[in-house]
Structure 1
Amino acid sequence: MVENTASALVREVVAAARAEPGERMLALTQLLTEADAAASDVEEILAAVQESQQQTARLRRRTVELEALFSTARELVRLQDVTDVLRRLVQRAHELMGTDVTYLSEVDNAQGDLRVRYSAGTVTPEFRDLLVPAGYGLASLVADSREPVWVREYTRMADAPHDPSIDDAVAREGLVSFLGVPLAVGDEVLGALFACNRFAHDFTPDQVLLLSAFADHAAAVLHSARVLAESAAARARAEEAYGELERHLAATQIVGGIHEELTAAVVSGATLIDLVATVSDRLGRRVRAVDETGLPLDTGADARAGLPRRRPLTDAIRESRASGHAVAVVDGERRWLVVAILGVDRVLGAMVADDEDAVPDDVARPTLERAAQVAALVSFKRDAVSAIRAERRARVLGAVLDGSAEASALSAEVARPLVGAAAIDVRGREGALTVAADAVGDHGLVTVREHGLVVAWTASVDGPGPGPGAGAGAGGAGLVAATERVRRILAEKLDDPSVTAVVGATVDGVPALRASVERAVRDLRFLGPLGVSGATVRSDDFAPYHVLSSGEPEAAARFVDGMLGPVRAWDERRGTALVDTLVAYFDAGESRQGAATALRVHTNTVQQRLDRIWTLLDGDPADAEYRFRLQAAVRLERLRRELLGG
C-alpha cells in the first residue's frame, strides 16, 4: 500500500510539473499530505512544481512565438503579395500578444504622416483608415525616438501633443493602453506596429520584445516590397527606353531611306510635284504642295479639295517657318501636318500631308521636314534656272525691240510666231521679271521697259496662254485673258493690287510688235491720271483719244476736267445724273427722245437736265467745235468710268 502511494505521488508530481501554471496543485498537495511528508518538504516540492510549470509555459509560449515568427520569415522569403503577408503578420501578432487591438501604420507621405493600413480587433471603420499627422500622438514618439514606446493610459500621455481628431477616434474605439514599436530599415522609419488594450495595462518586456520582432519582419516586408517595386519600375523604364531606342532607330532608318530616295530624285531632275508624289507614296498618305499663300501647285480640277481652309493653312505655314518644324492643323474633324519650304529670306511654299495612322508620327514629321529641305533645294535650282532663262529671253526681246538684234534672234527662244504684246506697270518692283516669266512660260517672252514689263505673246497651241489666232476676232480676247492672268499673279506675288496692264494691238511681225509695245506703254501712262489701276484694258479702247494726249499723260485728264468739271461737281453735290444724260444724249445722235428712252425718263426731264447742263458750262452748245470737244470729253469720261467699274 505504501509502495502504491509513492508511485502515485511521483506520477502526480510529474503531471503537475507539466501542467499549466496553477493546475493539479490541489491534488498534489493532498497526496503529499496523505504521504505524511513534512511541511517543509511539502512547501519545497510545491514551489519546485510551480517553477517548473512557469518555465514549461514560457517555453511553450516561446515555441508558439518562434513558430509564428518562422512562418512570417518563410512568407517573407516567398514574398509575392505584400498585402496578404502584412495582414497575416498583424493577425499573428494580435493572437500572440493577446491584446484587444493590433494594427500597423505606414508612413503615408514625405511629411511623415502615418496611416493605418492593417488592423485586427478594431470595431470602428474610422480607425481602420486613421491618418496620424507627423508630430502628434504616440506615433510621433515612436517615429522620432525609433524605440518602443508604451503608455498605461493614453488620455494621460503628456510626452507628445494630442490631436483632437485622433483622440476622438481612439475614444470611439475604446482604447486605453498602447504599445508601439518602430518599423525601421537603416536610418529610415517606414511605419510603426501597435498593440492596444481597452483597459489600463503595463506591457511586459516579453510583450515588447515579441511585438518588436514582428515589427522587424514587417519592416523587412515593406522594404523588400519597395526594393522590388523600384526594381520593377527600373526594369520597366529600361525596357521602355530600349523600345523607344529601337523605334527611334527604325524611324531613323526609314527617314534616312526616304531622304536618300528624295536626294536621288533631285539629282535625276525631279520637280517639286515629283518629290511630293514620292513622299506621299512612302508615307502612305496624301501629300500636296502649295505656294506661300496656300494655293495648290497642281492644277487639277480637285486640287483644292481636301486641303485646310486658306486662313488656318497660311497661319500654319507662318508657324512652321518660325519653328522650322512640321505643324499640326485641325480644321473641323480633319487634321493635317504642314511644313514650310523655306528660302533664304522668304517662304517658297509648303507641303501639306493628311494626318493618318499609316505611318507613325515620329516617322511622318521628320520625313516631311527633310522633304521640305530637299524641296527647297529643288526650288532654288528651279528659281536659278528660271531667272537665268528669264534674263536671257529679256535681253533677246529687248534687243529686238530696240532694233539692235534681228527678228531671227527670237527663233532661238520661241518656235511660234508673235501675235500680240502687253505692257504691265509693276512700278519697277524687284523680282517682277522672274515672276512674270514663270507665269508666261513658253507662251511668250518678257522684258523690262520703262520701269514696267513688256510681254510678247506667241500663238500658243495649248496651256493657259493665248490660243491660235488669239489676235483675231473679239478684239484679241485670248491675249486679254492671258495678260489678266499674269497681272493677277504679279499682284498677288508682289502684294500690290494696283498692278495694271494694257493689251496692245494684234501683230504679224516685229515692226508691228514694236509699234504695239510703244502704244501699250504710252497707254499705261495715260491710265494713271485717269485714276485707273488694278485692271487689264485693251489699247484699242483708247484709239479715238490718242491724239488728245499730245504726248502728255495728264493732258486727257485735264481736258475732261476742263470740259465737264462743273457738271461732275453738280452730280457729286446733288446726286444727279447730268453726265449720264449727256452720254445718252450723244449716243442717241443728240436726240432728246432717244436719250429719254435710254434713260427711261420723260422727254421733258431730259430737256430740263440739258438746260441745267448748258447753264453750268461756259461753251456755246450751238458751236460745232465746242460740241465736238464736249462729245470727246463725255466719251472719255464714260471710258474712264467703265474701266473703273463705275
Structure 2
Amino acid sequence: MADPTRASPVATAALVRGVVSATRSEPGESTAALAALLAEADVAAAEVEELLASVQEAQQLTARLRRRATELEALFSTARELVRLQDVTDVLRRLVERAHELMGTDVTYLSEVDDAQGDLRVRYSVGTVTPEFRDLLVPAGYGLASLVANSREPVWVRQYARMADAPHDASIDAAVEREGLVSFLGVPLAVGDEVLGALFACNRFAHDFTPDQVLLLSAFADHAAAVLHSARVLADSATARARAEQAYRELHRHLEATQVASSIHEQLTAAVMSGATVVDLVSTLSDRLGRRVWALDDAARPLGASAGPVRGLPARMLLTGAVRESQRSGHAATIDHDGGRWLVVAILGADRVLGAIVAERGGEDPPDDDVVRPTLERAAHVAALVSFKRDAASALRAERRARALLAVIEGETARNEADLRAEFSAEITACAVVDVQGREGALTAAADAVGDDGIVAVRGEYLIVAWGVPEATDETERMRRVLADRLRQPDIRAVVAVAEGTSLRAAVDRATRDLRLLVPLGITDATVRSDAFAPYHVLTSAAPDAVARFVDEVLGRVREWDSRRGTALVETLAAYFDGGGSRQAAAASLRVHKNTVQQRLERIWTLLEGDWDDAEYRFRVQAAVRLENLRVRLIAGR
C-alpha cells in the first residue's frame, strides 16, 4: 500500500469523504467513484477490493439499521396508539396498514376468532382486490389459519396450493385463487393461552419469507393481540360496570317499590283493624296506586255490582281463567285483551278461592309492576284475613240465628219467639224451603246470599229461610241461583210459603210437603210458590183443619155473606158448576129465575179475590165449593 503521507491533504480529505459517502449509500449502488479515488491514492488493487467489500457490508448494515429504525418507529407509533386506545377499529386498521408497508408484501390482512368453534373471519385487509376475500370466513381446522391457531407459532408456505400440512376447504381455495395469492406467512394473535386471531402477509408469487419478516410480522401481531385483548377487557369492564349500575338501579327501584308496598300494606292492615271490608281495601288500593281496582267474589263477579258486565273489566271467562292461574302460581296473573291490561290476584282460603282483586293498567304515570304486583299480592293476603274474619263472624251469627229459627219451628214457645225477634227484628212475611240435599257449605253460602233480609237454618236435607222482605219469591230465586253456582249443584229446588196469618211452623211444613211434590212433577231447578199447590194441600196434609183452612181461604167472604144475609151464594155456585157453567141449568136446579142466578153470580165475583178468568183459580173455587157441599151433606146426614 502506498504511503498516504505522500498524498496531498486535499486528496486525503476527498478520499475520506468518498469512503463515508459510500458507506451511507443504499446497498448495490455503484462504488466506481470510490474505486477511482483509491486508485489516485495509489492504493493496491487487493486493498481496494477489500476496502470496497467493507464498504458494501457497511452499506447493508446501514440499510438494515435504517429499516429497523423505521420498523421500531412504526411499532412505537402503534404502541402509543395502543396506550391511547380509543377506537379499536381505527387502531387495528392502521396497524395492518403499517405492517403492509414494512413487510412489502402484496396483501396483508388480520383475521379474528369469530365464534366459540374457533372460526376465523377476515376483519381488516390491505391490498385485496376481491370483495369476498375481505369478509372471508375460514372454518376451524382448515387451511393455514388452523396451523397458526393450533401451533400458536408463525407458519409460512411458499405455495399455498401445494400445502399438505392442513386440510383444504374448497370455498377458501377458490377465494385464494380469485385473489391470486400464492405464498402466505401467518403469525398468531395470542394472549396467554388464548388465540384471538392471526395476522397474515401474502404475495402473489412464490416467496420464501425471511426470519426478519417473520419477526416483524410477529411484533405487529403482538400489538394487534394486545389491542384486541385490551378492547375485550375494556368491553368486559364496561359491561361489568353497566351490570353493576343496572343492578344498583334495580336494587334502588326494588327498595323504593318495597317501601311503597310496605306503606300500602301498613295502611291496609290498619284499615282491617278498624273493621274495613274487602271493598274498602280495594278503594284504598285504587287511591294509592292511581288506577281502578275491583274486588271479585269466588265466582269472579264484582262485589257490590249488579248482574251483567261491568264497565272497565274484561269478560268473566277471562277473569275466571286468570284467577285459576293466580291460584296455581300464588302470584298475580296478567290479562292482555283488546288493548287492555289487568293484573289479577286470587284471594285464597284454606281449601278454596275466596275471591280476587283486579287492577287495571294505570294512567299516564302509574307505579310500575315492581310496586303494583307485590302490593296486590300483599293486599290479597290482607283480604283473605278480612274474609276469614268476616266468615267467622258470619258463621257465628248465622249459627246463632239458625238455632233461634229452629227453636221457633220446632217449639213455637213465647220464649223462642222472643229469642228470634232479638236476632231478627223485622216481621217475617214468608218462608222458603230449599232442597240442597245436605250439601256442606250450604248454610254459609245461603246466609251470605240472604244477608240481613232473613234468617237461614238447616233442617235435615233442607235449608229453611225466614224472609222479612215483601218479594220473597224473587229473593228466594236469587238465593237459589247463588247456591246452585257456589255448590256446583244446578238441580236445586225451592218452595216459598206466605207466613203471615199462620204459624211459621205450619208454613214451613206446608212448603216442605210442596217441595216433595216437585220431584214426581219433574221440576229440578226452580222456585215456586206454595199457593200453587193450594188445591192439593188437602189431599196430602194430615192436619185435621186442612180442609177447613182451604175452604175458608177461598170461600170465606162468600160464606160470611150467606151467614149474615141469609142468601144461598155457595149453593148457587155449586149449582152453577154442576150445570157446566150454564146459568139456565143452575136456575132450573135451584128453581129460581135466570136473572136471579145472574145477580147472585155477580155478587160472588165481587166477593172473591181472585181472577175469575184464570182457569187455575176457577178450579180452586170449584174444589172449595165441592168440599164445602161435601161437608154440609155429611153433617146433614149424621
Q: Relative to structure 2, which stretch is displaced further, 88-97 or 486-495?
A: 486-495
Which of 355, 362, 373 is the matching residue for 2:361? Answer: 355
Question: Which residues in structure 2 correspond to 1:329-478 (within 5 Å)?
Answer: 329-356=335-362, 358-401=366-409, 402-404=411-413, 405-458=415-468, 466=469, 470=470, 478=471
Contact 1:296–1:303, Cα closer than 8 Å, also in 2? no
Which of 288, 294, 319 is the matching residue for 2:325? Answer: 319
Distance 2:145 2:449 in 1: 86
Partner of 1:497: 490
Distance 2:247 2:172 in 1: 46
Quote the offset at 1:532 in angstroms: 2.2
Provide, for residues 258-278 of structure 1, a one-character-per-residue CA deviation record: whole Å limited to 9, x for no partner. 111111111111111111111
Provide, for residues 208-239 of structure 1, a one-character-per-residue CA deviation record: whole Å limited to 9, x for no partner. 11111111111111111111111111111222
1:500/1:81 CA distance change after superposition, 3 Å: same
SS at match of 1:75: helix
SS at match of 2:320: helix
Contact 2:160–2:183, Cα closer than 8 Å, also in 1? yes
Amino acid of the structure 2 residue aligned with 1:17: T
Partner of 1:558: none
Partner of 2:39: 33
Amino acid of the structure 2 residue aligned with 1:337: L
Which of 477, 486, 493 is the matching residue for 1:484? Answer: 477
1:488/1:140 CA distance change after superposition, 3 Å: closer
Which of 266, 291, 294 is the matching residue for 2:297? Answer: 291
Partner of 2:521: 530
Amino acid of the structure 2 residue aligned with 1:409: D
Which of 201, 205, 208 is the matching residue for 2:214? Answer: 208
Distance 1:277 1:400 in 2: 42
1:155/1:493 CA distance change after superposition, 3 Å: closer
Distance 1:539 1:488 in 2: 19
Quote the offset at 1:303 in angstroms: 7.2
Quote the offset at 1:171 in angstroms: 1.4
Q: Relative to structure 2, which stretch is displaced further, 348-357 or 207-216?
A: 348-357
Partner of 2:162: 156
1:443/1:71 CA distance change after superposition, 3 Å: same
Provide, for residues 298-353 of structure 1, a one-character-per-residue CA deviation record: whole Å limited to 9, x for no partner. 13688722222121211211221122111112232222111111111111111111
Q: Relative to structure 2, which stretch is displaced further, 347-356 or 25-34?
A: 25-34
Partner of 2:67: 61
Provide, for residues 417-438 of structure 1, a one-character-per-residue CA deviation record: whole Å limited to 9, x for no partner. 2222222222222222222222
Amino acid of the structure 1 residue aligned with 2:441: G
Contact 1:292–1:317, Cα closer than 8 Å, also in 2? no
Partner of 2:84: 78
Partner of 1:247: 253
Distance 2:533 2:205 in 1: 120
Distance 1:46 1:100 in 2: 35
Contact 1:114–1:191, Cα closer than 8 Å, also in 2? yes
Partner of 1:281: 287
Distance 2:335 2:290 in 1: 19
Distance 1:376 1:51 in 2: 100
Distance 2:143 2:370 in 1: 55
Stretches of structure 1 that go unaligned for 5 or more consecutive residues are: 459-465, 471-477, 553-585, 592-627, 633-646
Quote the offset at 1:64 in angstroms: 0.6
Q: What number of residue pairs does the alignment pair up? A: 543
Contact 2:404–2:416, Cα closer than 8 Å, also in 1? no
Distance 1:269 1:550 in 2: 49
Quote the offset at 1:375 in angstroms: 0.7
SS at match of 2:357: strand
Distance 1:330 1:319 in 2: 14
SS at match of 1:337: strand
Question: Which residues in structure 2 correspond to 1:192-271 (within 5 Å)?
Answer: 192-271=198-277
Quote the offset at 1:518 in angstroms: 2.3
Quote the offset at 1:181 in angstroms: 1.4
Question: Which residues in structure 2 correspond to 1:628-639 (within 5 Å)?
Answer: none
1:134/1:436 CA distance change after superposition, 3 Å: closer
Amino acid of the structure 2 residue aligned with 1:377: L
Amino acid of the structure 1 residue aligned with 2:367: V
Contact 1:115–1:131, Cα closer than 8 Å, also in 2? yes
Distance 2:74 2:30 in 1: 29
Provide, for residues 232-262 of structure 1, a one-character-per-residue CA deviation record: whole Å limited to 9, x for no partner. 1111122222221112222122212211111
Amino acid of the structure 1 residue aligned with 2:376: L
Identity of aligned residues (%): 70
Partner of 1:572: none
SS at match of 1:102: strand
TM-score of the aligned structures, taking structure 2 as reference length: 0.81
Partner of 1:539: 530
Q: CA RMSD in A?
A: 2.4
Which of 36, 39, 48 is the matching residue for 2:54? Answer: 48
Distance 2:262 2:129 in 1: 68
Divergent runs of 4+, >6 A: none
SS at match of 2:503: helix
Distance 2:177 2:526 in 1: 95
Quote the offset at 1:287 in angstroms: 0.9
Quote the offset at 1:486 in angstroms: 2.0
1:429/1:64 CA distance change after superposition, 3 Å: same
Distance 2:168 2:465 in 1: 98
Distance 1:168 1:440 in 2: 89
Provide, for residues 454-501 of structure 1, a one-character-per-residue CA deviation record: whole Å limited to 9, x for no partner. 22222xxxxxxx2xxx3xxxxxxx222222222222222222222222
Which of 99, 102, 107 is the matching residue for 1:93? Answer: 99
Provide, for residues 153-186 of structure 1, a one-character-per-residue CA deviation record: whole Å limited to 9, x for no partner. 2222222222222221111111122111111112
Q: Relative to structure 2, which stretch is displaced further, 172-181 or 483-492?
A: 483-492
Stretches of structure 2 that go unaligned for 5 or more consecutive residues are: 1-6, 544-576, 583-618, 624-638
